[in-house]
């Protein structure tokens, strides 16, 4: 929760990890209780959005970052495709994770493997419980 120090990129990475932990915990809990739902996750890869823009402008090697971004990034609309795939395609299974095909940066959506930390069930369970405490939302039917 960045109570002592805040770094925007670290906070961004933590939020993405938390999304995966939560999605995979939802999948485990739904399977355990027999609830018929699909919990799938996705990431956009390297999409050309304004997220990188302020950072690339403020650092001395900004031109290098912009050039690399121009070569590796895909349009923002293409970055939405893994999410759309996960939400709409009939072959999606609970626990799936989708991202761009080309080195996870760009390209058509495909099933990808998350970082090992995203599959840590103890951390996911702790996050689930803490999320319920902080939000006051009780998912009693999911254990």
Q: Of 12, 46, 85, 119, which one is the catalytic site residue?
A: 12
φ, ψ of residue 106 to 5 degrees: the values are: -155, 165
Burial class (CB in 10 A: 0-12, 13-18, 19+), 90: exposed
Distance, CA of 49 to CA of 28 (rounded, Å) = 33
Query: Is 12 designated active site?
Result: yes
Q: Which two tokens stand for residue 90?
A: 């009939």
Catalytic residue numbers, as ranges:
12
């Amino acid at each position: 929760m960045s109570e002592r120090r805040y770094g925007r990129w670290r906070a961004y990475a933590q939020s993405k990890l938390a999304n995966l932990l939560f999605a995979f915990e939802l999948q485990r809990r739904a399977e355990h209780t027999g609830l018929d739902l699909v919990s799938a996750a996705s990431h956009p890869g390297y999409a050309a959005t304004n997220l990188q823009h302020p950072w690339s402008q403020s650092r001395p090697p900004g031109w290098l970052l912009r050039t690399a971004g121009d070569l590796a990034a895909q349009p923002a609309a293409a970055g939405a495709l893994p999410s759309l795939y996960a939400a709409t395609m009939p072959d999606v299974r609970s626990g799936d994770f989708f991202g761009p095909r080309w080195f996870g940066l760009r390209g058509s959506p495909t099933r990808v493997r998350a970082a090992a930390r995203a599959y840590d069930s103890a951390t996911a369970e702790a996050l689930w419980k803490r999320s319920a405490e902080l939000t006051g939302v009780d998912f009693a039917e999911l254990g």
